[in-house]
Amino acid sequence: PGPKSLPIIGTLYKYLPFIGEYSFTNLYESGKKKLKCFGPLVREEIIPNVNVIWIYRPEDIAEIFKAESGLHPERRSHLALLKYRKDRPNIYNTGGLLPTNGSEWWRLRKE
């Protein structure tokens, strides 16, 4: 469930000043409205063919992360930082908590 998406403009019209019911400048209030209207899991097409999923319950977020990547995170967004740190073993002894993944991330996280 989620706000009605229109062809070409998606749900962007719902964020326009004066006529829209949501606001990009106050996403907290917009989120509360969506939660009340649609429930704890909301699908929205702000731009056509690009889905945004709003997840409001922490236990749902945890379940999604576990289903997506297992017990430990598997991120691809910090590979440059990981390479930078691994190429400088005289300065860094690990890849660091942010760019490291899997069981190595868990080992660092526990320390």
- How are the residues of the chain apportioned to helix, strand and coil, as percentages rounded to the nearest 5? 45, 15, 45
pLDDT tens-digit series, residues 3-51: 999 999 999 999 999 999 999 999 999 999 999 999 999 999 999 998 9
pLDDT score, position 69: 64
pLDDT score, position 103: 83
Whether 91 shows a pLDDT value over 70: the answer reads yes
Helix locations, the chain, DSSP H: 27-38, 58-69, 79-86, 102-110
pLDDT score, position 89: 94
Residue 5 CA to residue 39 CA, distance in Å, equals: 17
pLDDT score, position 90: 96
* Structural domain count of the chain: 2
- The H or E element containing residue 50 is strand 50-55
Answer yes or no: do 3 and 48 share one domain. yes
Residue 61 identity: I
Answer yes or no: do 2 and 48 share one domain. yes
Out of 42, 60, 78, a domain closes at: 60
The boundaries of the domain holding residue 88 are 67-110
pLDDT tens-digit series, residues 53-80: 999 999 998 888 777 666 776 777 788 9
